[in-house]
Structure 1
């Protein structure tokens, strides 16, 4: 029986040795992986630092450009204000002309009958004058014809 105990102890020792060897290999592999991860992190940190530096430079340039644009826009603002004032003035002028045209149209419409009567009256006067000239010419022609008949 003692041999069985020794054999069992030997099997247990071999099993522990195998477990220890596999555990060592696993730990060694894990150690390599962790070293590679550390290297990768260092490389990424360097790249991120470079990107961060470039991003800071880009932000600085963007801020300078924004300040420049704001300065130029501030210089152009009075022009837009002036154009807006001109637009308001033109609108006021347009409204005034529209009101004047409406007023004139209304006056013409209210005085339309009077205008028609005045035109009709002036046409009547002109027709009467023409008749008077025609009568005068006829009388003069008759008188000249009378004188010629008397002289003959």
Structure 2
């Protein structure tokens, strides 16, 4: 019985040794796997840091662009308001001009006879002016001839 006991202890010791060897190999393999996972995680962390910094820069750029677009939109709004104001002014000016034109047409139609008389009197005045000017020029020509005649006479005496 003691032989069985020794054999049992030897089998248990051999099984324990085999178990320890397999556990050692498994733990060793697991250690290598964990080292590989650790390296992969380190690389992933570095890549995530790069992506995070690029994302941060992109976010800042996007914010700057949004701010710039907002400023330009506000500037454009003031330009649109100014153009609208100019359009309103032109519309009012056209309405005023139309009103004045209509009033002038109405007054012209009402005073058509008076205007015709003014035109006739103006023509008469222009004719009188022309006749008076012609008469004045003739008188100057006669005076000039008389002076020339007097000079010749005075030269002839000397």
Task: Indicate the residue corresponding to 1:15 in structure 2.
Answer: 15
Compared with structure 1, are the counterparts of its residues 88 and 33 closer, same or farther at alpha carbon in structure 2 (3 Å cutoff)?
Answer: farther
Task: Indicate the residue corresponding to 1:50 in structure 2.
Answer: 50
| Poorly superposed stretches of 4+, deviation over 2 Å | 78-89
Task: Indicate the residue corresponding to 1:68 in structure 2.
Answer: 68
Pairwise CA RMSD = 2.6
Q: Deviation at 1:61? A: 1.1
Structure 1 residues 21-74: Cα deviation after superposition (integer angstroms, max 9, x where no partner): 111111111111111111011000000001111111111111111111111001
Task: Give unpaired runs (5+ residues) of structure 1.
Answer: 90-152
| Separation in 2, partners of 1:37, 1:88 | 73
Q: Deviation at 1:88? A: 8.7
- State the number of aligned residues: 92
Moved more, 66-75 or 80-89: 80-89
Task: Indicate the residue corresponding to 2:25 in structure 1.
Answer: 25
| Separation in 1, partners of 2:21, 2:29 | 12
Structure 1 residues 109-135: Cα deviation after superposition (integer angstroms, max 9, x where no partner): xxxxxxxxxxxxxxxxxxxxxxxxxxx
| Separation in 1, partners of 2:88, 2:19 | 93
SS in 1 for 2:77: helix
Q: Deviation at 1:81? A: 3.5
Structure 1 residues 58-101: Cα deviation after superposition (integer angstroms, max 9, x where no partner): 11111111111111001011233456678999xxxxxxxxxxxx
| Separation in 1, partners of 2:64, 2:46 | 27
Task: Give unpaired runs (5+ residues) of structure 2.
Answer: 90-158
| Separation in 2, partners of 1:23, 1:88 | 92
| Separation in 1, partners of 2:69, 2:59 | 15
Q: Which has the higher contact order (CA 8 A, sep 6+)?
A: 2
TM-score (norm 1): 0.53
